[in-house]
Structure 1
Amino acid sequence: MDRMHTRVTEQLGIRYPIIQGGMQWVGLAELASAVSNAGGLGLLTALTQPTPEALREEIARCRGMTDQPFGVNLTILPAIKPPPYAEFVRVIIDSGIKIVETAGNSPKEFIAQFKAAGVTIVHKCTTVRHALSAERNGVDIVSIDGLECAGHPGEDDVGGLVLIPAAVRALKIPVVASGGIADGRGMAAALALGAEGINMGTRFCVTQEAPIHANIKQALVQASERDTALLYRTLKNTARVFRNAIAEEVVGMERRPGGVAFEEIRPLVAGVRGRAALQSGEVNGGIVSAGQCIGLIDDVPSCAELLARMVAECRRELERARGFFG
């Protein structure tokens, strides 16, 4: 069986260094198990589950669908009334999960617990300075997110072509490239820039196993690289999303003289609306996260088909580039 060998595949025990993004409302057992069965690393999204106990059940459900390694994403966000993070951590450890992807705020307060339980920590961040801080705090792998990505790319506006090698140069631990990757060419480029793996969110949304309505998948297939929008720029909490009617409305409100308060746009961007849109297929029903790589996506394969194709294309592109010498 074809395998790739990087520090990421060795540390995570996977065949290919391809990690599925921990996407809210999307990281369910159906998708995570399909990615893991295809040789990558599938991730369940902890906060998609309403309670820690529901996460325990989802982990058990995923175990019934794959015998390969999979992990759990735990995104730590500032909130007036935060989720019970400590309870989610306890469920992850008690359930025997050995790989965790953390994102958002620093996972510093939970690192010792995870380490004591033999958990490998992949921390996602958007700047080299935060990556260095994560390395100092003891994470095992850093996933670095460029401006092209879906969701929150930070406020520094640095694309992957610069951010990936900058992180690789600064860090001793392995770097996973995230944002803007949807095919084997992007994977080859990331490896050439020094990354030892890739993370994909948007590309995995447009697969047969993603728990998203076919209408949404088709809208992303038909979109170009220009069909995303950056929201919350004026609020210093930038997010890249699919450019639908709601996204256009929010951008327009932010462009008003004097800007906009979050309370004014909250009804438009509420998570429950986004979740309903993903399930109903109402393309303009809510906010839909999407990265610029939608311009590179033109089909809805199974995860097995996607990973096999990507690895073959990555190998082909790296060999083609090598042919430029000699």
Structure 2
Amino acid sequence: MGFDTALTKALGIRLPVVQGGMQWVGYAELAAAVSNAGGLGILTALTQPTPEDLRKEIRKCRSMTKNPFGVNLTLLPSLVPPDYAAYAQVIIDEGIRIVETAGNNPGPVIKQLKAVNTIILHKCTTIRHAKSAVKLGVDFLSIDGFECAGHVGEHDIGNLILLNRARQDLGVPFIASGGFADGYGLAAALALGAEGINMGTRFMCTIEAPIHAKVKQAIVDADEADTALVMRRWKNTTRLFANEVTKQALKVERESTSGEFAEMAPFVSGKRGREVFLNGDIDFGVWTAGQVIGVIHDVPTCGELLSRIEREAVGAMDRSKALYTATPQSKL
């Protein structure tokens, strides 16, 4: 007995749970722990400073797990964009056949990866973008609701609607991303037509996540109102943990008369956010977290977490099934 979804069958995993790519979090220690626990662990390519560093991280992860794992490659606007093709070539050369893509204009990278039959999971925040990704030949869509951490898009549509729309309109299997942390969420996603779930913030709050214990405790102590949306003024809306720096950034965004992003830039520095995960000062810089922080209350190992999710999901599905009893039609 076990889960038998399009996702588990295609990826060769036991549980339909994907650990999403996260900047400064998706290292080998976490990805291997998730894969060893039956889910799909994912390395974050651009956490590595060069393609060759990614090669080393892939080999490190392979030494820590015999189970499938993937790599996230996110394409975002940049004054000096990374060499995405070189990162993709390392992924190909190292024999990784599962890649999570996201961001702008992924066509060339997807074409490069699909040339060697890579399984592509592409993240989208709207049905329109999802349909565009289908034309590129992706294998799974990761439908990212407004609840998610990081880049939420500009349409503010939650997963209850997005997943229903995905089921109605998309001809490609999809997984649910944004707002998931437990087996009840997995059962709900499956009921809405998803083939599994993607979790980011929940995996940040595990023993194996390579971030400071004080950050994990801040997640445990927070509730669902402790995030904030920044950079909407520049149509690059991002959900962050609502710490002091985020609040300062919001003040600048709202009160700036020039509307120049340069006024905002010092507050949303990725380098400062990286330091938060290392030094544990949760107010040192901005860092991403989803609204799901409101339902995270502990810091388990990945093995403990995924075992719990499996039990909860099975229990929730059994309970739902028990709510309906087929009765003979009345003869009246």
Same fold (TM over 0.5): yes
Map of 2:185 onto structure 1: 186
Map of 2:265 onto structure 1: 266
Map of 1:287 onto structure 2: 286
> Secondary structure at the residue paired with 1:255?
helix
Map of 1:173 onto structure 2: 172
- Supply the distance in 2 between the matched residues of 1:140 and 1:93 (Cα, whole angstroms): 17
- Supply the distance in 2 between the matched residues of 1:35 and 1:61 (Cα, whole angstroms): 15
- Supply the distance in 2 between the matched residues of 1:238 and 1:269 (Cα, whole angstroms): 12
Residue segments in structure 1 that go unaligned for 5+ positions in a row: none
- Supply the distance in 1 between the matched residues of 2:34 and 2:256 (Cα, whole angstroms): 46
CA deviations 1:142-165 (Å, max 9, x no partner) are: 001000000011000000010111
One-letter amino acid of the counterpart of residue 34, structure 2: V
Matched, 1:324 2:323: yes
> Secondary structure at the residue paired with 1:121?
strand
The 5-angstrom pairing of residues 165-244 of structure 1 reads 165-244=164-243
Map of 1:32 onto structure 2: 31
Map of 2:51 onto structure 1: 52
Matched, 1:123 2:122: yes
Residue segments in structure 2 that go unaligned for 5+ positions in a row: 326-332
- Report if aligned partners of 1:29, 1:58 keep a CA contact under 8 Å in 2: yes
CA deviations 1:202-260 (Å, max 9, x no partner) are: 00000000001000000010000110001111111110111100111111122216474
> Secondary structure at the residue paired with 2:150?
coil
Map of 1:63 onto structure 2: 62
One-letter amino acid of the counterpart of residue 280, structure 1: N
- Report if aligned partners of 1:106, 1:134 keep a CA contact under 8 Å in 2: no
Matched residues, number: 325
Deviation at 1:194, TM superposition (A): 0.8
CA deviations 1:96-133 (Å, max 9, x no partner) are: 00100000113211223212212100100100011011
* TM-score for the superposition, normalised by structure 1: 0.98
- Report if aligned partners of 1:18, 1:200 keep a CA contact under 8 Å in 2: yes
One-letter amino acid of the counterpart of residue 227, structure 1: D
- Supply the distance in 2 between the matched residues of 1:259 and 1:156 (Cα, whole angstroms): 25
CA deviations 1:82-107 (Å, max 9, x no partner) are: 10111101100000001000001132
- Report if aligned partners of 2:151, 2:237 keep a CA contact under 8 Å in 1: yes
Map of 2:82 onto structure 1: 83
Deviation at 1:288, TM superposition (A): 1.3
> Which stretch has the larger CA shift, 258-267 or 205-214?
258-267
- Supply the distance in 1 between the matched residues of 2:56 and 2:152 (Cα, whole angstroms): 31
- Report if aligned partners of 1:26, 1:212 keep a CA contact under 8 Å in 2: yes
Q: Say if 1:106 and 1:11 are closer, same or farther in 2 by CA, change over 3 A.
A: farther
Map of 2:20 onto structure 1: 21
One-letter amino acid of the counterpart of residue 88, structure 1: Y
- Supply the distance in 2 between the matched residues of 1:121 and 1:75 (Cα, whole angstroms): 12
- Supply the distance in 1 between the matched residues of 2:226 and 2:84 (Cα, whole angstroms): 35
Query: Which structure 1 residue ranges, 4+ long, deviate > 2 Å from structure 2?
Result: 110-113, 257-261
One-letter amino acid of the counterpart of residue 264, structure 2: I
CA deviations 1:160-219 (Å, max 9, x no partner) are: 010111112111111110001111111111111111110000000000000010000000
- Supply the distance in 2 between the matched residues of 1:150 and 1:79 (Cα, whole angstroms): 20
* TM-score for the superposition, normalised by structure 2: 0.96
- Supply the distance in 2 between the matched residues of 1:322 and 1:19 (Cα, whole angstroms): 26
- Report if aligned partners of 1:253, 1:260 keep a CA contact under 8 Å in 2: no
Deviation at 1:80, TM superposition (A): 1.9
> Secondary structure at the residue paired with 1:283?
coil
Aligned residues: percent identity?
A: 57
Deviation at 1:3, TM superposition (A): 2.8
One-letter amino acid of the counterpart of residue 230, structure 1: L
Larger Rg: 2
> Secondary structure at the residue paired with 1:210?
coil
> Which stretch has the larger CA shift, 248-257 or 286-295?
248-257
- Supply the distance in 2 between the matched residues of 1:280 and 1:111 (Cα, whole angstroms): 36
Matched, 1:310 2:312: no
- Supply the distance in 2 between the matched residues of 1:214 and 1:70 (Cα, whole angstroms): 25
- Supply the distance in 1 between the matched residues of 2:106 and 2:2 (Cα, whole angstroms): 31
CA deviations 1:262-311 (Å, max 9, x no partner) are: 21111111111000011100010111110000000000000000001001
- Report if aligned partners of 1:72, 1:101 keep a CA contact under 8 Å in 2: yes
One-letter amino acid of the counterpart of residue 38, structure 2: G
